[in-house]
Each structure stands twice: as C-alpha cells, then as structure tokens.
Homo-oligomer: A and B are copies of this chain.
Amino acid sequence: MEDTPQDQLGQLRASIDKLDAALVHLLAERFRLTDRVGLVKATHNLPAVDAGREEAQFERIRAIARTAGLDEQVAVRLLKQVIHEVVQRHMATARATRAG
C-alpha cells in the first residue's frame, strides 16, 4: 500500500519542523554571541560594522554551502538577513552604552 500524498507531506513536514527547532536554537546561541561582540565593540568604541569581517564570512559561507549542496546565493541571502538583524541590535547597544 502506497503512502498518500498527504502522508508523504506529513512525514516530510515532521522532519522540517525538527530542523526548524534546531535552527532556532542555533540562532538563539548565535545572537547571544553577537550580543557579546556588540558589547565589546560598544565598550571599546569600535565600529558596529566590519566590512572585512563580513566579506570573509560570506566567502566561508559560500564554500560551506558548496560542500553541503546548498545554493550559494540562497545561503548568502539568508546570512545577510541574519547579519542585518545583528547590526540593528549592535547599533541599539551602542546607543544604550553611550546613553548610560
């Protein structure tokens, strides 16, 4: 007896939901670390954005995406979105530190 399309979708979605839970936990840890980066930068008056660091990150992400079989441009677009969120938080941290 073959699985119905709905059975197949249900099984795939259960796996996707587990990956999403893992992704959220990793992202939470990543934001905890970038919050600490933001605090170090704000404390020492370092700029919120570091273009050289970002370029190196994108190169690394492209290489990992190739190995993992993920479209490089998709990987870069998603990392850019994550970094955009991080920079917003860093600028808020810098404002709060200057105000404190």
Closest CB of chain B to A75's CB: distance in Å? 6
| CB closest chain-B residue, reference A32 | B69
Q: Which residues of B contact A78 (CB under 8 A)?
A: 27, 78, 81-82, 85
- Could you say which of B28, B36, B53, B75 contacts A65, with CB atoms under 8 Å apart? B28
| CB closest chain-B residue, reference A64 | B24
Q: Which residues of B contact A71 (CB under 8 A)?
A: 31
**Interface set, chain A 52-89, CB cutoff 8 A to B:** 53, 57, 60-61, 64-65, 68-71, 74-75, 77-79, 81-82, 85
- Whether A17 sits at the interface, judged by CB under 8 Å, is yes
Q: Known: A24-B75, A78-B78, A85-B78. Is A5-B46 also a contact (CB below 8 A)?
A: yes
